[in-house]
Structure 1
């Protein structure tokens, strides 16, 4: 069973978003992970005070087959510094993990599956 870490923002910390709706989307995403036979852990940051130390702790807790970096960290230009730090932490502390990016909480599992498939094909060729 592949183990996936999802890095994103805590539902109650995102300005302008209804926490219940964000939490429901995360839960729907978790259901999709289960459907695909993947175990999911979440590393959720406070939007107002994102702490890369939290990301580092999550990455050091266990080995992951794939790490998904959420769109909230990746998309807004003001998050570019955080996005770069997160990608580098994943690269340095989980070098064997595939890295995936989602378009929203509900498609994280599908992007993780694609990244794991790409990793499998690349390792067969290489």
Structure 2
């Protein structure tokens, strides 16, 4: 069984409405996310990455499948999930499913892919 202490959850770059983020496109965000994940792992974090879509039912299934067989102690949920008002139900669902799957889990929040390490360090 693999063990992961950190779970990063964010919207799949293909699921984002880029009209909400002037100057950002899918290719740029994909590169930033990959660079951020590389930095997280290079900093020594044992991290699972869980990109989700905007549908709460689909996102819940994705999180359940990703977390299965792992011991997650800390979850970082990205700004793309938390910030847009239209994702409130998605954010609620993710919080509640993670509390169910990993009692005692702690949460942290970034403001961009580049601030993920700082968010993780606050709570790890």
**What is the TM-score normalised by the length of structure 1?**
0.80
Instruction: Please report how far the alpha carbon of residue 2 of structure 1 lies from its aligned counterpart in structure 2 after TM superposition.
Output: 6.7
Aligned CA RMSD, in angstroms, stands at 1.9
Return 82-91 or 53-62, whichever deviates more.
Answer: 53-62
Q: Residues 43 and 2 (structure 1 numbering): CA distance in 2 closer, same or farther, change over 3 Å?
A: closer
- In the alignment, the residues of structure 1 paired with residue 122 and residue 103 of structure 2 have an alpha-carbon distance, to the nearest angstrom, of 18
Structure 1 runs (4+) greater than 3 angstroms displaced: none
Matched with 1:7 is 9
TM-score normalized by the length of structure 2: 0.81
Structure 2, gaps ≥5 residues long: 19-23
Distance (whole Å) between structure 1 residues aligned to residue 15 and residue 88 of structure 2: 18
Q: Aligned pair 1:93/2:101, yes or no?
A: yes
Which residue in 2 is equivalent to 1:122?
none
User: Are 2:33 and 1:26 equivalent residues in the alignment?
Assistant: yes
Please give the alpha-carbon distance, in whole angstroms, between the structure 2 residues aligned to 1:12 and 1:64.
26
Alpha-carbon distance, 1:61 to partner: 3.6
What residue ranges of structure 1 are gaps of 5+ in the alignment? Answer: 117-126
Take 1:20 and 1:10, find their aligned partners in 2: how far apart are those partners? 11
Q: CA deviation at 1:106?
A: 1.6
Number of aligned positions between the proteins? 115
